[in-house]
Chain A
């Protein structure tokens, strides 16, 4: 237990070290989420369009 507290305490610099890692998780995680969501939206929209337009699928099109 003490070892965990000592680790979390970061030698008195917890208020600087953890927000830095938290910011990294937030920014990189958020960007990943946004990118995957955008790809999913585009894929669904294209599928809907091709469904009505009847365009042939090319090799490597499966996104």
Chain B
């Protein structure tokens, strides 16, 4: 067995994820606390946007995580469909609600930022519309994954949706360059370096690190729950079918 097969075995995952979890959880708490402190108290207001610029410290990391989680979900879905990794399928299922939450957060905070700065809560420009589609893709994935009594059927359908829907990720990312959007283009990931003052870049990156670690921590918690739920299902099947161990060994 190759090392990644062993890493991807659910019982191995239960062992090492227990060790990673406290580090990720405390790291997330520390980074978010530091990011909030610097973002709210120890960073200046913008010369044009005033204090509303502080919305950036939740809006931008949330939007980055929305794309990051979708990419992770699509990659896990490939791992499941192509290499039949049972943990990859569960990882995609664990990621979907986290990504959906970050996407909803990006949409809500963007709206709260748009009203005072653009004079509108919402505009159907390419960036906002493609992020709304991203949100619906997450919801579609969750609905499809849960739609069948047989989780295998749900997983196949949902994985295909996740992979096909990935086409939307570069559209979200480059919408601000390809089309004339009301939304501004990227200021951090630019070829000529970030066009943002270090005083604002520091809290932004702290929050981004905090959100990433939050995803790792909550993702581990959700994935552990999913592994246990599969084990429960296998045990129930085993009991119903009179004690064959096959059902248990395929998932655990």
Contacts and interface: CB of A to CB of B under 8 A. Distances in A.
B228 A60 contact: no
Given A35-B221, A38-B225, A20 B231 contact: no
Interface of chain A: mostly helix, strand, loop or mixed: helix
Given A31-B98, A42-B228, A49 B236 contact: yes
Count class of interface residues, chain B: 35 or more
B101 interface: yes
Contacts of A35: 218, 221-222, 225
Contacts of B225: 35, 38-39, 41-42
Contact of B228 (A19, A24, A36, A39): A39
Contact of A60 (B18, B109, B238): B18
A59 to B, nearest CB: 6
Interface stretch (B7-15, B72-80, B150-158, B193-201): B7-15
Given A13-B116, A16-B52, A61 B11 contact: yes
A50 B229 CA distance: 13
Nearest to B110: A20
A50 B228 CA distance: 12
A10 B218 contact: no
Interface stretch (B54-62, B123-131, B171-179): B54-62
A16 B225 CA distance: 36
B108 interface: yes
B90 to A, nearest CB: 12
Interface in A8-63: 10-13, 16-17, 19-21, 23-24, 27-28, 31-32, 34-36, 38-39, 41-43, 45-46, 49-50, 53, 55, 58-63
B87 interface: no
A28 B105 contact: yes
Given A23-B109, A31-B98, A35-B225, A45 B55 contact: no
Contacts of B247: none
B222 A38 contact: yes
17 contacts: A13-B51, A17-B55, A20-B55, A23-B58, A24-B62, A24-B105, A24-B109, A27-B104, A31-B101, A35-B221, A36-B221, A39-B228, A42-B225, A42-B232, A49-B235, A55-B235, A63-B224
Interface of B: 11-12, 14-16, 18, 36, 40-41, 45, 50-52, 54-55, 58-59, 62, 97-98, 101, 104-105, 108-109, 112-113, 115-116, 214, 218, 221-222, 224-225, 228-229, 231-232, 235-236, 238-239, 248, 252
Given A16-B116, A35-B225, 4 more contacts: A13-B50, A42-B228, A59-B15, A61-B14
